[in-house]
Amino acid sequence: MIHIYQQLTWVDPSQVLWGCVDGRSSKYQLGTLGGDVGEFLTGIATLAKINSINGLSPILIDNIFTKFITIQPDMYYHTDDYSVAQIVKILTNQGIDMANFSIWAPTSEQKPALLDLLVDPNYTGCSHIRQMLNNPGDYQIPKAYVQQFLKSYFNNLWSKTESKRREQFEVLEGKSLEIKYIEINMNRENVKKNDLQCSKLVPTASPHDVEESFIVHCDDIKNSGIRGKVKKFIEQQLPSNVKSQSNSTFDDISKQQQDISYALIGVNEVPKFYHQFKVYTDWAKVPADEFPSLEKFIPSTPTTDDFSDFEE
């Protein structure tokens, strides 16, 4: 069992939604740029790069998404209240009836124009996806591919129950004011091989509750969750003679996208903390000084990016 950090919520990264790193979210979640949607779009970019001669038609992108949601039925994405307010204003000015409007349940009259605005970078509340739309060359994915996927995503979202829609698609409030970056890593050297719980579970965190921080789970955790699922799925869509290129291409594109987004959304401007969670199979062997403390998790004055300073 997980004996240390019992007050945190521990989850299997392959069985939950992955949220974005945006500091406005109050959800306790696992964090990656753009959430589930961001990872899937990196997969589309990978497929497009390897399959560059043929290209990806709108129908093909929709079919790929339809296949993927048989594996991962629910996918997290978010916007913000400012973007929604702008959309409502525009649709109202177009003469569309916006009485009792809900972005989670638009009317048939509202949907066509709403979809066009939801894929417009000017009204995209997720900074990572907005930058992807604005800089298709740098992100190595054509703008049209991102827009087609998002249309497929919303059409699928609106076919779900109200509770599912709100769970998957979040409207964040206010401006992004992140003051630090926290990356979560795991240390399982004290976990027995037959301890399945300790071997896979990881802690969630709420970006907003941790002083509005960018909270990111490390690549190893991503690969055991949504990223691993996307990689495996994309590889399966490729001809056998190029399958071996899939994972390395994905990693290269993901790294470039991350570097660009970190520069554009302000990650490079805030203090960075790398927190390594240690887990133990045997409670009796946990050293007394390795119990968690908020002060160690979020030091008020960072002195180094070295893991050792922030180990629990």
**40 in any annotated domain:** yes
**What's the rounded mean pLDDT across residues 75-96?**
97
% of the chain exceeding 90 in pLDDT: 69
Of the listed ranges 9-13, 72-76, 143-147, 290-294, the least confidently predicted one is 290-294
Q: What is the pLDDT of residue 307?
A: 33
3-state secondary structure 25-90: CCCCEEECCCHHHHHHHHHHHHHHHHCCCCCCCHHHHHHHHHHHCCCCCCCCEEEEHHHHHHHHHH
3 state DSSP class of 1: coil
- Report the distance separating Cα 215 and Cα 27, nearest Å: 12
* Residue 245 pLDDT exceeds 60: yes
In the prediction, which pLDDT does 286 show? 57
Considering the domain boundaries, does residue 5 fall inside one? no
* Residue in the structure block whose two tokens are 């054509």: 142
For residue 3, tell me if it sits in a domain. no
The separation between CA 124 and the C-alpha centre of its own chain, rounded to angstroms, equals 15
Angle between helices 246-265 and 226-237 (to 10 degrees): 130
Over range 91-118, report the average pLDDT: 96
In eight-state DSSP terms, residue 311 is: B
The answer to whether residue 303 scores a pLDDT higher than 90 is: no
- What 3-state class would DSSP assign to 292? coil
Residue 140 lies in a domain: yes
Higher pLDDT, 192 or 141: 141
Q: Identify the pLDDT of residue 269.
A: 92
Helix, strand, or coil here: 234?
A: helix
- Report if residue 1 sits inside a domain: no
Q: Is the dihedral of CA 65, 152, 128, 216 positive or negative?
A: negative
Give the domain extent around 243. Answer: 10-310
Q: What is the pLDDT at residue 289? A: 58
Q: In terms of pLDDT, which residue wins out, 281 or 212?
A: 212
What would the pLDDT profile of 172-190 be if each residue is shown by its tens digit? Answer: 999 888 899 999 998 888 8
- Report the pLDDT averaged over residues 88-96: 97
Bridge partners (DSSP) of residue 241 are: none
The pLDDT assigned to 51 comes to 85
Asked whether residue 67 is assigned to any structural domain, the reply reads yes
Q: Is the pLDDT of residue 207 over 90?
A: no
Global pTM value: 0.88
- Confidence at 285, pLDDT banded by 50, 70, 90: low
User: Other CB atoms closer than 10 Å to residue 58's CB: what's the count?
Assistant: 14
Write out pLDDT tens, residues 15-56: 999 999 999 998 889 999 999 999 999 999 999 999 877 789
How many distinct structural domains can be found in the chain? 1
- Once rounded to an integer, what is the mean pLDDT over residues 85-100? 96
Instruction: Indicate whether 267 pLDDT > 80.
Output: yes
Do the beta carbons of residue 156 and residue 65 sit within 8 Å? Answer: yes
What mean pLDDT is predicted for residues 274-296? 61
- Classify residue 236: in a domain, yes or no: yes
In a domain, 2, yes or no: no
